[in-house]
Amino acid sequence: MRARHVTRHAAAAVTAALALTALAVPTAGAAGSAAPGALTRCGENDVTVRAEPSEDNADILKLSVRNDSPKACLVDRVPTVTYGELDGAALPLPTVPHAGRTLAAHDTAYAAVLSVSDPEDAKDEAPAVMYVTIAAIPDHQGRSFQALTLGSPTGVRVWEPVTTLWQPSASHAQQVLEKETTGRGTLAV
């Protein structure tokens, strides 16, 4: 990722910090107990995060998060996608603040990530990482996926990555990614 995009990374870090506040459970009463019926954040052991390569584009990853618990809980509405030891995370498309998204018991949500958003700039400068980490909530440790299992035995290329919000279906996530980008992975700005 380029130095001129440090501002983007700083903005992503601030956004991730705000996400922790947005996912806070509302409290009621002097004792600070949770309000009746209030949703809690999904625990890291309550969700299963998956990633797989797209058949259509080597720079796209298809993600899913499943709530394995017997009750609804909150995940962030944007997956946290980080690349190896690089700073920053994939930015959401459309650009929105982080907030909670309800995930019903045993329900699954889907997202699509474009790891290289500007192939022309990236061809000579894009680093390749040997793993990608996905988390449903920014402060979760997440699950790491090796580049080989993502269809990239020499590493996942990364250059100004972007991600969709969690969507109700994999096809909808792909449609949102296509709508928010244009051409061969160039951002529609």
Cα dist from 48 to 39, 57, 89, 143, 156, whole Å? 19, 24, 20, 9, 22
How far apart CA 118 and CA 10 sit, in angstroms, is 20
The three state secondary structure string of 83-147 is ECCCCCCCEEECCCCCCEEEECCCCEEEEEEECECCHHHHHHHCCEECEEEEECCCCCCCEEEEH
pLDDT score for 134: 98
pLDDT score for 141: 95
pLDDT score for 26: 36
Q: How many other C-beta atoms lie within 10 A of the C-beta of residue 93?
A: 22
How far apart CA 91 and CA 5 sit, in angstroms, is 11
Give, for all 189 residues of the chain, the pLDDT tens digit.
433 333 333 344 434 444 434 444 333 333 333 444 689 999 999 999 999 999 988 899 999 999 999 999 999 999 999 999 999 999 998 887 778 999 999 999 999 999 987 777 777 788 999 999 999 999 999 999 999 999 999 999 999 999 999 999 999 999 999 999 865 444 443
Largest CA distance in the chain: 58
Residue 78 is encoded by which pair of tokens? 């944007």
pLDDT score for 98: 74
Report the DSSP beta bridge partners of residue 50: 64
